[in-house]
Amino acid sequence: MDSKQVQLDTLSKLMLDCSKCSLRSDCIQVVPGEGPAKAEIMFIGEAPGRKEDELGRPFVGAAGKFLNEMLGSINLKREDIYIANICKCRPPENRDPLPEEIKTCWPWLLEQIKIIQPKLIVTLGRHSMEIFFSGYKISQLHGTLVVKTIPEIGQYNFYTLYHPAAALYNGSMRETLFQDFQKIPIILRKIKSE
Ligand code: URA
């Protein structure tokens, strides 16, 4: 196994033992994330839901099925990407994660990014966008490639999408998400050619 994969697996194991915030005591298990360490694209969602908490895997419920469909539309499979959440533990009743919970979990996400060094980071939904672009609206940023330096990890390419769970039952948002998704291969090719 290559060293990036070993590092990522070790990190995931450490996350399983995390109880730095109170979310851990209310959920079944930690959901670190999944995918190959060599992934070029890293997707970042919000937090595990009920199904994810049950199975210990990200995006395995209705939103995950929809995400898989979108990935398929651009000839990508789940095994091609890395996928994680801002918070690794399910908030009770699927409420939004609190600012202090996001802050406590943030170092785990930074470590994941540092190891994977994805060519493109795709944020899913408002919360995931806001941790990198505070003060912006998702309606302004979605579907646009933005290059930004994050002090702890350096410069990365970011692409914001609406959250698949929000778009699932909203016809126009669904269409926008689908169109934004179609741009991913073009953006990735552009990044790789630079
Ligand atoms: N929604 C998220 O943001 N993450 C998951 O893992 C599942 C649903």
Please state, in angstroms and rounded to a whole number, the distance separating the CA atoms of residues 76 and 171. 23
What spacing in Å lies between the alpha carbon of 68 and ligand 1's midpoint? 13
**pTM recorded for the entire structure:** 0.97
What pLDDT is attached to residue 89? 98
* DSSP per residue, 143-191: T-EEEEEETTTEEEEEEEE--HHHHTT-HHHHHHHHHHHHTHHHHHHHH
Pairing verdict, β 154-161 and 145-150? antiparallel
Q: List the chain pLDDT tens, one digit each, 194 residues.
A: 789 999 999 999 999 999 999 999 999 999 999 999 999 999 999 999 999 999 999 999 999 999 999 999 999 999 999 999 999 999 999 999 999 999 999 999 999 999 999 999 999 999 999 999 999 999 999 999 999 999 999 999 999 999 999 999 899 999 999 999 999 999 999 999 99
Q: Provide the token pair at 117.
A: 């060094």
pLDDT, position 101: 97
Query: What pLDDT score does 135 carry?
Result: 96
Cα–Cα distance measured from residue 89 to residue 107, given in angstroms and rounded to the nearest whole number: 14
Q: Which of 23, 28, 30, 52 has the most ligand 1 atoms within 8 A of CB, as the residue to mutate?
A: 52
Q: Which of 59, 129, 162 to mutate to test the pocket of ligand 1 (most atoms within 8 A of CB)?
A: 59
Helix (H) or strand (E) holding 85: strand 82-85
Residue 1's pLDDT is what?
Answer: 75
Per-domain boundaries in the chain: 3-193
Sheet order of strands, 145-150 included: 82-85, 41-45, 120-124, 154-161, 145-150
What is the phi/psi pair of residue 35, to 5°? 130, 170
3-193 — its CATH code? Answer: 3.40.470.10
**Residue 187 pLDDT:** 98
Q: How far apart (Å, rounded) are the C-alpha atoms in residues 73 and 88? A: 27
pLDDT of residue 130: 96
Phi, psi of 45 (to 5 degrees): -95, -160
